[in-house]
Amino acid sequence: MPFDTQLTRKLGIRVPVIQGGMQWVGYVELASAVSNAGGLGILTSLTQPTPEDLRKEIRRCREMTKNPFGVNLTALPTINPPPYEEYAKVIIEEGVKIVETAGLVEPYVAMFKKAGCIVLHKCTSIRHALSAERRMGVDFLSIDGFECAGHVGETDIPNMVLLSRARQQLRTPFIGSGGFADGRGLLAALALGASGINMGTRFMCTQEAPVHMNIKQAIVNATENDTQLVLRRWKNTSRYFRNKVSEAAYEIEKTSPTGEFKEVQQYVSGQRGRQVFINGDPDHGVWTAGICIGMIQDVPTCEDLLRRIEAEAQGALSANVSQYKESAKM
Ligand code: NAD
């Protein structure tokens, strides 16, 4: 195992790479493929219409992989609040051992910890990470830099600084999330003190991701300038793929005299965004993407992607070490 870290040892995985929760993407096809390839695949609870559907999805995942996998539970502002506690109960009843959480989840984390689950909690700031460490005693913090897709937080600190601050401040092991898409990124995160990385957008653009091919092609064609930040006015800043709908939502956000969320609701609706992945029209609704879209140039299988990431990280490590030795001789 080339990269043996606290993360790989604790989770029982080969490669220190996690496929983070993604609304309308984190289904069993993707999660099981990532786990079979040696990373940690994660099912996203709220993509399932009911807690009982999540139960079926977890059981299906067990049939599709013998390797460890996790389940994500995220509680952020939502148009129709789901029954979070019921989802949490199903996760526990089904004996899931690894849970990824984000948002206001303290009561559910307490349930998961009591049930003996390993909890990885996502934070976009050191202040929130310290509070999660103190109040919830999670096993890993997933440090979500400003580069990430979706909910970027309100402090706008990218991972070059955020991961270093995590290393300086946290006692809990952490992983880097946001902006990672290749082996050099993995190596950089390890060098900054992380035990591994979390990738979302990169896994969206794999053969197994249940996302229309047009959308994968839109990611391949995009540059790092093709995302847009919306919802800052409501302190729920979200990074979307820049399209006609994100532009329209942003225009209302900027100009609305009332500042009422309901004015943008029809544009940012997740149900509308979900259709994008099904019908393949990138302008049908908003959909989240990280700025690493600029680095993504193909649609590999999860197996090929993880093998490439391992090989690239190893190759870059050896090259850097020999370059360093050469320059030390001079
Ligand atoms: P949705 O249709 O309920 O809402 C669309 C967007 O508007 C979301 O970004 C939501 O956070 C935001 N929003 C809703 N009400 C708001 C309010 N009053 N003020 C400010 N912003 C508001 O969301 P969805 O796309 O169907 O997703 C359902 C839930 O899953 C949301 O809570 C979302 O945040 C969450 N989610 C989870 C993940 C994950 O990794 N598991 C990823 C993305 C979204």
Is the predicted pLDDT of residue 152 greater than 80, yes or no? yes
Phi, psi of 33 (to 5 degrees): -65, -40
Q: What pLDDT is attached to residue 284?
A: 97
Supply the DSSP string of 203-271, one letter for each residue.
HHTSTTSSS-HHHHHHHHH--TT-EEEE-GGGT--EEEE-SHHHHHHHHHHHH-SS--THHHHHHH-HH
Please tell me whether the interface predicted TM-score (ipTM) of this complex is above 0.85: yes
Residues in the chain: 330
What is the C-alpha to C-alpha distance for residues 174 and 188, in angstroms, rounded to an integer?
Answer: 14
* Whether pLDDT at 292 is above 90: yes
Distance CA 250, CA 41 (A): 33
Dihedral (CA of 171, 174, 178, 184) sign:
positive
Q: Are 243 and 265 in contact (CB under 8 A)?
A: no
| Greater pLDDT, 80 or 202 | 202
When pLDDT is averaged across residues 34-52 and rounded to a whole number, the result is 98
User: In ligand 1, which atom is closest to the CA atom of 272?
Assistant: 2
pLDDT of residue 2: 79
Pocket of ligand 1 (CB under 6 A): 21-23, 44, 46, 72, 74, 76-79, 150, 231, 234, 236, 238, 261, 268-271, 273
- C-alpha 23 – ligand 1 centre gap (Å): 9
Confidence class of residue 330 from pLDDT cuts 50, 70 and 90?
low
Atom of ligand 1 nearest to the CA of 72: 41
Give me 245's structure tokens: 């709908």
Give the model's confidence band at 137: pLDDT under 50 very low, under 70 low, under 90 confident, else very high. Answer: very high
For ligand 1, the distance from its centroid to the CA atom of residue 270, given in whole angstroms, is 7
Mean pLDDT across the stretch 103-130? Answer: 98
C-alpha 23/C-alpha 149 separation (Å) is: 11
- Confidence label for 304 from pLDDT (cuts 50, 70 and 90): very high
pLDDT digits (tens, 9 = 90+) for 215-253: 999 999 999 999 999 999 999 999 999 999 999 999 999
Task: Name the pLDDT band for 107 (thresholds 50, 70, 90).
Answer: very high
Kindly tell me if the per-residue pLDDT of 313 is higher than 90: yes
pLDDT of residue 327: 74
What is d(CA 52, CA 292) in angstroms, rounded to the nearest whole number? 34
Asked whether the beta carbons of 72 and 45 are under 8 A apart, the reply is yes
Could you report the per-residue pLDDT of 208-221, keeping only the tens digit for each? 999 999 999 999 99
Mean pLDDT of the 124-142 span:
97
Cα–Cα distance, 35 to 42 (Å, whole number) = 8
- Ligand 1 closest atom vs CA 76: 32
Give the residue from 142, 185, 200 showing the smallest Cα distance to 308. 185
Structure confidence at residue 210 (pLDDT): 98
For residue 132, give the DSSP letter: H
What one-letter code names the amino acid at 188?
A
Contact (CB, 8 A) for 18 and 42:
yes
pLDDT tens per residue, range 46-96: 999 999 999 999 999 999 999 999 999 999 989 899 999 999 999 999 999
pLDDT band at 319 (very low <50, low <70, confident <90, very high): confident
The encoded tokens of residue 71 equal 């389940």
Is the C-alpha dihedral spanning 281, 79, 153, 106 positive or negative? negative
Atom of ligand 1 nearest to the CA of 45: 41
Strands lying side by side in the sheet with 227-230: 150-151, 238-241, 227-230
Determine the residue of 78, 152, 234, 241 to mutate for testing ligand 1's pocket, defined as the one with the most ligand atoms within 8 A of the Cβ atom.
Answer: 78
pLDDT score recorded for residue 262: 94
Dist. CA 285–CA 212, nearest whole Å: 14
- Contact predicate 273/183, CB 8 Å: no
Q: Give this prediction's pTM.
A: 0.95
Q: Please tell me the distance between residue 238's alpha carbon and the centre of ligand 1 in angstroms.
A: 9
Q: Assess whether pLDDT exceeds 90 at residue 323.
A: no
Ligand 1 geometric centre to CA of 79 (Å): 7
Give CA–CA dist 139/118, Å, rounded.
6
Residue 135 has pLDDT above 70, yes or no: yes
Find where tokens 């990738």 sit: 199
